Amino acid sequence: MLQDTVFKLADAGLPQMLGFLIYGGCTVGFIIYLFYLVRQ
């Protein structure tokens, strides 16, 4: 019972975490890119 819950959480949480990391990385990269454009 407990293992099933853990596996369900891992199944749901892992793609979400990956998506969040990718989204965060893109956001940070975009901000740095804008900052770079503004400074030129």
> Residue 1 has what pLDDT?
66
> Residue 4 has what pLDDT?
82
DSSP label at residue 31: H
Domain around 33:
1-40
> Residue 31 has what pLDDT?
96
Q: Which pTM was predicted?
A: 0.48
- pLDDT, tens digit (0-9, with 9 covering 90-100), for 1-40: 677 877 777 777 777 888 888 999 999 999 999 999 999 8
Task: Tell me how far apart the alpha carbons of residues 10 and 16 are, in angstroms, rounded to a whole number.
Answer: 10
Domain count, the chain: 1
> Residue 12 has what pLDDT?
74
Report CA Rg, the chain: 17
